[in-house]
Amino acid sequence: MNPITNRRLFLRSAAATTLIAGFPNILLAQGSNAKLKIGLVGCGGRGTGAADQALSADPNVVLWAMADAFGGQISNSLNNLSKKFSGKIDVPEARQFTGLDAYQKLLDSGVDVVLLASPPGFRPLHLRAAIEAGKHVFAEKPMAVDVAGVKSVMESAKLAKQKNLTLQHGFCWRFSPNTRAGYGKVLSGELGRVVSVYGTYMGGVPKPSTAVADRDPKLGDVEWQVRNWMAHEWLSGGPLLEQAIHTVDKIAWAMNDVAPIAARGCGGRTQRSDDGNVWDHYEVTFEYPNEVLCHIHQRQMGGCFSEVKDRVHCEKGIMEAPDRVLTKDISGKINWAYRGDNTNMYQVCHNEWFAAIRKGEPLNTGEYMANSTMLAILGREAAHSGQRVTWAELWNATQDLAPDSLQMGDKHPTATVPVPGRYKLI
């Protein structure tokens, strides 16, 4: 079983789009120009950002419906978007949907294109429903938090292909012109074969939970957890999935998206004091063919050394990204650095997506997005279990962190924090 084999193809086509990335709107003159109705599922800061990019990517689009677990999120999001896109917003109260089933109502409201930006635990469910309903989809990263979720995403991707629907991913660095230039130097072979990768995502806690003492006693377990979703594995997948997956995905990029053999790792939960169950640090090594080892060091803790950097070590030099994209010779001397204007990578992502929709091109990154998500799960499960976990073993697992049927008021005690040597991947 090797679901990753087709990724080379995607990569080649992604590289080929680099040249037009800055001005794909030219392409809109060709193909269909019908008005596209956009639905936003998950109206937090990132979802609102994705809506901004979608509304900017194409002249003939309208924000048509919004869905979120909580009504307050929708009104805030709508206020912010209305300031900039007054002529492209048409979301009357009747098309503002709240609750955990809001996505389904949105899909039934006549939208053509949906943006999925809820906490990632919901993504496989939302994606499947959107593809079944015949919508074009943008899915924010990560695309799942467990093995069952990734398999579902893979099935949805196949279904999208059959239905001729586009499916775009939110691994934003793959759209960043400077990062593309750096990884282009690796993949072109200019620096020789990749020898190893060392990627870091060491920072603070991006969104600390509300203090447990401040929990409104009226909130049921599920609502409390969704409101503090980053702290809960069934919702965020933990920091290696939720945040450092950017670095995991860039390891895959450097390795030309070939399948890994296995992963081993360690980590734990030492600084977090909320009532969730995610770890706050991981150190994982991915084994690749030809004795190539790729390492990722993830941490979300205050008061510690911090760095977000990919170091791709090659035979003839080193490529560093993504803040300052540069190459060094093997003695460490900088011999090339990207100097150019800042380009909005999130916008490039949506520009390329809408260009594909308009041209009727079969853009479908579903298999790729499922594989990069699975790669992060491989690392997480190796660390949680304390075992060397192979890629094949992982695909044979059935791990499912939460049922799809949860309701806001349900009792849902937090699962225990995994202890290596005792925790088992099932």
3-state secondary structure of 377: helix
- In whole angstroms, the minimum distance from the beta carbon of 187 to other proteins comes to 22
Residue 302 as a binder of other proteins (CB under 8 A): the answer is: yes
Residue 98 as a binder of other proteins (CB under 8 A): the answer is: no
Residue 399 as a binder of other proteins (CB under 8 A): the answer is: no
| Count, residues in the chain | 426
Q: How far apart are CA 100 and CA 84, in angstroms?
A: 28
Site track for other proteins across 188-207, x = CB under 8 A: --------------xxxxxx
Q: Given CA atoms 213, 216, 219, 225 in this order, what sign does their dihedral have?
A: negative
Q: Which of 240, 345, 355, 369 binds other proteins (CB under 8 A)?
A: 345
Q: Which of 17, 18, 25, 80 binds other proteins (CB under 8 A)?
A: 80
Phi, psi of 344 (to 5 degrees): -80, 100
What tokens appear for 356 in the block? 């594909």
Range in contact with other proteins (rule: CB under 8 A) among 59-67, 261-269, 302-310, 381-389 = 302-310
Of all helices (H) and strands (E), which one includes residue 139? strand 136-139
**β-pair partners for 298:** 201, 282
Residue 22 as a binder of other proteins (CB under 8 A): the answer is: no
- Window 151 to 190, contacts with other proteins (CB under 8 A): 172
- Window 131 to 150, contacts with other proteins (CB under 8 A): none
Q: How many CB atoms lie within 10 A of CB 362?
A: 12
Residue 215 as a binder of other proteins (CB under 8 A): the answer is: yes
Q: Which residue has the tokens 């969104």?
A: 207
Residue 227 as a binder of other proteins (CB under 8 A): the answer is: yes
Sequence-distant (≥ 6) Cβ neighbours of residue 112 within 8 angstroms: 36, 37, 38, 135, 136
Written as one letter, the residue type at 217 is P
Question: How many residues make contact with other proteins (CB under 8 A)?
Answer: 47
Residue 211 as a binder of other proteins (CB under 8 A): the answer is: yes
Q: How far apart are CA 57 and CA 44, in angstroms?
A: 20
- In whole angstroms, the minimum distance from the beta carbon of 254 to other proteins comes to 17
- In whole angstroms, the minimum distance from the beta carbon of 140 to other proteins comes to 9
Binding site for other proteins (CB under 8 A): 44-46, 48-49, 51-52, 72, 76-77, 80-81, 172, 202-211, 214-216, 227-228, 243, 302-303, 305-309, 323-324, 326, 334, 337, 339, 342-346
